[in-house]
Amino acid sequence: MSRKSVGILGLTLFIAFTLVGCDLISVVGVGKGSLRIQGIVLDEDNNGISGAAIEIDSKPVVFTGSDGKWSYDKATKGAKVDVKKDGYVFASGPILVESDNQTIHFLGKKEESARYAISGKVVDNQGRGIPSVRIVFTDAGGSVLTTLTDSQGSFSREGLIGPYRITAEKDGYLIIDSFDVTGPENVFFLAKADVPAVYSVGGRVVDDQGRGIPSVRITFTDVEANALTTVTDIQGNFTRSGLSGVYMVTAAKDGYVIAGVSVSGPDNNLILLATETAPAVYSVSGKVVDEDGNGIPSVTITFRGGTEATTVTDAEGKFSRSGLRGTVTISAAKNGYTITEQFVVTGVDENITFVARIDQTPYEVMGRIVSTGGLAIEGVVISFADEKGGVKTAVTDADGCFWKSGLIGQAAVTAYLEGWLFTPETRVVNGPESDLNFYGTPDSESTYTVSGAVVDFDGVAISGASVRFDFLDLDRESLFTVTGPDGSWTMDGLIGRIQITPIKSGLTFYPAYQITDKAAMSIGFRAQ
């Protein structure tokens, strides 16, 4: 093999290694019995989805590249392979590992494109559409969406995602049908007249300017002193079904005087006028502490009821709020903590204490550290400091990637490598995180010197050759020097990753360039 061929082979290997990213796993060190699997993650337009986390038995092991492709060399037979990425819904998975060189593809949709619509109709025994039927969509978590049938008994609801149970209801009718849906469908309800007949009342609570008043408690009291209640929405509207007979309708909210009215049948346009009073003003202060009595900062304190407001605790866990009116419910919340207490205050200055307990559910995070030039930074120490002073660490691999599991509660995350500065300086996590990324720049005070020589293949010095130094991690102009009579050269004041390239008209150099990030005194090039 010629010297020229050797040089080209070395250059090819160098380029191959520099192109390795976070989405590629080295085959070096593959254990006995390990299986290779690979595949691609595509969107609905057959474009690769980059940065998707491939999971083995619910633990992320590799990210997809810019083309959506991935591979992993350490799988075991029977392991479960799945994929996750924020903003996407994946129909397939998990998939079992069955053989070596198994190819596994995943198809994902953006959440918005995964949404669907449901339409339908409510009819009576004669097939006639029934208007103003309330259609209720309840998801797996118990959250509810509603709509009403039109004058023909038809309805539709868009923007649904995931499974829903659909039910229908209207005073005076018995509707026993229900439907479980996971995608677009057209459903029909059969409504039968209910006996005895009942009616509903709807209306609005307004001030003297005609503005709706939210959170007003509406009470319907019958002749036997039985009471039914509801609350006005953000626009001051209310409705109450299931009424039968005569009722006295009263309304109450701190800070208002509201006259009542009597009803004995359906009425959808009931207006209750509220006159504002001048309630007493008071203040509340308090503290949020952990189980050891230590104050917890940055806890969100929420005030609801007569006064709607929020504040956060200071560095000692303390908070205060003035200008409160009426009956106020006070709660506290912070990611990574469980705070069950709620306090109800009614117009007297008070001092209250919340006890926050660390959420004991462990979680994991992953991320990558690259230079501002986009190159992976290996050997960065990632520290996870909890609020009790405990510290856990991880170290970036050759692709700049890191992963840490078993974290509990809140953790302050920092990155350190001698000679480097990282942005941001600190990140705070309270739960699972797949993009816990940092960017590094060389410390301008950590400079180094490199030197070397340029000779031909017979060892004869090449004088007068230019040597260019390109900063790969910084936006700086290139530096130049010239080889001396003995072919030697030196350059100091370098920082970060540097690409060194010899240049002289009529000559070809092997290798074409070299990259370094530290002091060196024997960087050589051969010319032909």
How far apart (Å, rounded) are the C-alpha atoms in residues 139 and 399?
41
Phi, psi of 461 (to 5 degrees): -60, 140
Confidence label for 351 from pLDDT (cuts 50, 70 and 90)? confident
Please give the single-letter amino acid code of residue 468: R
Say whether both 220 and 156 belong to one domain. Answer: no
Res 172: pLDDT? 74
Say whether both 295 and 261 belong to one domain. Answer: no
**What is the pLDDT averaged over residues 125-146?**
89
The residues facing 332 across adjacent strands are 301
Residue 72 in this model has a pLDDT that exceeds 90: yes
Where a domain ends, among 343, 358, 373? 358
- CATH number for the domain spanning 187: value is 2.60.40.1120
Say whether both 21 and 98 belong to one domain. Answer: yes
| Averaged pLDDT score across all residues of the chain | 86
How far apart (Å, rounded) are the C-alpha atoms in residues 124 and 189?
9
Residues in the chain: 528
Say whether both 342 and 429 belong to one domain. Answer: no
**What is the pLDDT averaged over residues 201-230?**
92
Say whether both 224 and 268 belong to one domain. Answer: yes
Say whether both 339 and 394 belong to one domain. Answer: no
- CATH number for the domain spanning 474: value is 2.60.40.10
Residue 448 in this model has a pLDDT that exceeds 60: yes
Residue with tokens 């994929």: 83
Say whether both 291 and 222 belong to one domain. Answer: no
- What DSSP line would sit under 429-491, residue for residue? ESS-BS---EEEEE-TT--EEEEEEEEETTS-B--S-EEEEEESSS----EEEE--TTSEEEE
Where a domain ends, among 111, 137, 166? 111
> 160: burial class by Cβ within 10 Å (0-12, 13-18, 19+)?
buried
> Within a 13 Å sphere around the CA of 362, how many CA atoms are in the beta-carbon half?
5
pLDDT tens, 378-420? 999 999 998 778 899 999 999 999 999 988 888 899 999 988 8
**Separation in Å, CA 443 to CA 435, 448, 475, 495:** 24, 11, 14, 7
Say whether both 161 and 124 belong to one domain. Answer: yes
Where a domain ends, among 358, 388, 412? 358
Say whether both 23 and 105 belong to one domain. Answer: yes
**For residue 400, what are the contacts with CB-CB under 8 A and spacing of at least 6?**
22, 368, 369, 370, 375, 376, 377, 378, 380
Confidence label for 87 from pLDDT (cuts 50, 70 and 90)? confident
**Separation in Å, CA 343 to CA 19, 215, 242, 286, 331:** 58, 19, 33, 11, 7
What is the reported pTM?
0.33
Domain count, the chain: 6
Helices (H) then strands (E): counts for the chain: 1, 50
* 44, 78 Cβ separation under 8 angstroms: no
Say whether both 240 and 338 belong to one domain. Answer: no
* 311, 301 Cβ separation under 8 angstroms: yes
How far apart (Å, rounded) are the C-alpha atoms in residues 356 and 336?
10
- Host domain of residue 227: 199-276
How far apart (Å, rounded) are the C-alpha atoms in residues 271 and 280?
27
Say whether both 91 and 7 belong to one domain. Answer: yes
Res 35: pLDDT? 94
Lowest mean pLDDT among 7-11, 99-103, 158-162, 184-188: 7-11
The residues facing 190 across adjacent strands are 123
Number of CB atoms found within 10 A of residue 278's CB: 7
**What is the pLDDT averaged over residues 271-279?**
83
Lowest mean pLDDT among 188-197, 388-397, 445-454: 188-197
Lowest mean pLDDT among 153-167, 202-216, 277-291, 511-525: 277-291
Say whether both 373 and 330 belong to one domain. Answer: no
Confidence label for 524 from pLDDT (cuts 50, 70 and 90)? very high
Res 19: pLDDT? 37
